[in-house]
A = this chain, B = another copy of it.
């Protein structure tokens, strides 16, 4: 264990500039229930970009600094600055998850038991070389699991599992998923196939449709098709899906989904009801790929909900026994059901190159970056 440790931070200054840079930080000392992890692999997830880029206009980004100490600067629009006031002039650590080897452990039995193990960790800015976390914020991986395999053990695996468990807990029997060709969408598809749950995948390109069908997906509908709402309604009639998950948010996709659910539920109903069907229809929005307004064209009666969906809140609702079982399943199936793949590996320094940012910032299907911070 060296004395050197560095961390990727995002800083917004009061002159409306975003700066991304690497900062030298102290080597951490673990408390009784803490471990120090030598971080070896961390994914660049869409959920990291909210902290990393914030509301900066990345088309204005410029590069400075050196190869060893790169600096990215971009303009933050004046009008969004009030909403960011609690961030101004503070270094905010970036990175929600990652994996590595435990190189120091606190005095508690739980911490000591992890010494030398491969663990996946969540939270607190994982884009650094050595990270100190509470034992509760990590999953012990099976022997032989590599850091690259373990890097994405929390965000996508637990979010997609939480969707399935939420479906069960709330009494639905099939799921509609939007932007379904994403890494998370592919994982959800594998979980649903393994568990025998009907999943309707909404994509917007034929190539994504093919990708999912080749994986074995039974229901794939294309939102760019002229027959989209007809196709979606038909799939909902067949599956009985009354819950949806949408990472886009802005626009009218969740509204379309609710209207198709209502059309499916009432398609063979003889009796008129001015209040719509009694069947409860739930649309969860778990991201903000489109930050524009969410538009609800309400032809779906009164038995409906549109809710934000955030992993931590969802886990809180599911309860600790369910969450414990979910974590165990992730560790056991990390190279199968919950496997992630990456198209590029970069160092912390390479992650702060304009051309890398241009690539991973696009959030294109099939492009996924992994940071390997030990060089």
**Interface, chain A (partner B; CB < 8 A):** 50-51, 54, 83-84, 86-87, 90, 92, 249-250, 252, 255, 266, 269-272, 274-275, 278, 280, 286, 288, 291, 293-299, 301-310, 313
The answer to whether A303 touches B310, judged by C-beta atoms less than 8 angstroms apart, is: yes
Chain B residues contacting A299 (CB-CB under 8 Å) are 83
CA–CA, A271 to B310, complex, Å?
A: 18
The answer to whether A302 touches B313, judged by C-beta atoms less than 8 angstroms apart, is: yes
Give 8 A-B contacts (CB < 8 Å), ordered by A residue: A86-B269, A86-B272, A293-B296, A294-B295, A294-B298, A303-B313, A305-B305, A306-B307
The answer to whether A293 touches B295, judged by C-beta atoms less than 8 angstroms apart, is: yes
| Residues A305 and B303 in contact in the complex (CB < 8 Å), given A291-B298, A296-B293 | no
7 additional A-B pairs beyond A92-B272, A294-B296, beta carbons within 8 Å, are A51-B274, A86-B272, A275-B310, A280-B313, A296-B296, A302-B313, A304-B308
**Which of B278, B295, B306 sits near A306, CB closer than 8 Å?**
B306
Chain B residues contacting A303 (CB-CB under 8 Å) are 308, 310, 313
The answer to whether B298 touches A302, judged by C-beta atoms less than 8 angstroms apart, is: no
Chain B residues contacting A302 (CB-CB under 8 Å) are 286, 308-310, 313
Chain B residues contacting A266 (CB-CB under 8 Å) are 86
Chain B residues contacting A250 (CB-CB under 8 Å) are 298
